[in-house]
Amino acid sequence: MAVIAINELLNDLLIAIHRSLVLFADEVSPWASESAQAFQSEVTSLAQRQRVDVGRIAALLNQRGEAIDFSYFPHEFTSLHFVSLDYLAERLIAGQRELVSQLEAAVDGLSDDPQAQEVLRTVATSQREGLVQLLASAPK
């Protein structure tokens, strides 16, 4: 894969993390029932983990002299401002599963760029661990 394509992939993954539903939910602080308090804590923890992982990818892109696009939250998230965390739980988990899948596929495809592969391997592991914790705390 060409260096330009790799850097574009890195930036696309940065956006996928930085504009995830988890980070959106953390920023808008949806109401959480008493039974969803542990889940809310894990969403906050995963959001912090995502901020750190965005920093990892951004540092690599910056080191390579690339302009970084942080983008915007998807338009469809605007209808989710006033919903409960219980309502968002399945969507948050599905979104995190998709993100982990994207990251793991990217790691497998970056054998030509060991530096990018190592950064994404770290990020994928971090996000997979976050998914496990999210699943363990999901409201029943």
The tens digit of pLDDT for each residue in 20-36 reads: 999 999 999 999 999 99
CB-based burial of residue 134 (10 Å sphere; 0-12 exposed, 13-18 middle, 19+ buried)?
A: buried
Answer whether 43's CB lies under 8 Å from 22's CB: yes
- pLDDT interval class at 140 (50, 70, 90): confident
The ranges assigned to domains in the chain are: 3-137
CA atoms within 13 A on the CB side of 96: 28
pTM of the model: 0.95
Instruction: Specify the DSSP class assigned to residue 65.
Output: T
| CATH fold for the domain made of 3-137 | Ferritin (1.20.1260)
- Does 81 score more than 90 pLDDT? no
- Does 77 score more than 90 pLDDT? yes
Answer whether 68's CB lies under 8 Å from 62's CB: yes
Residue 62: how many CB atoms within 10 A of its CB?
12
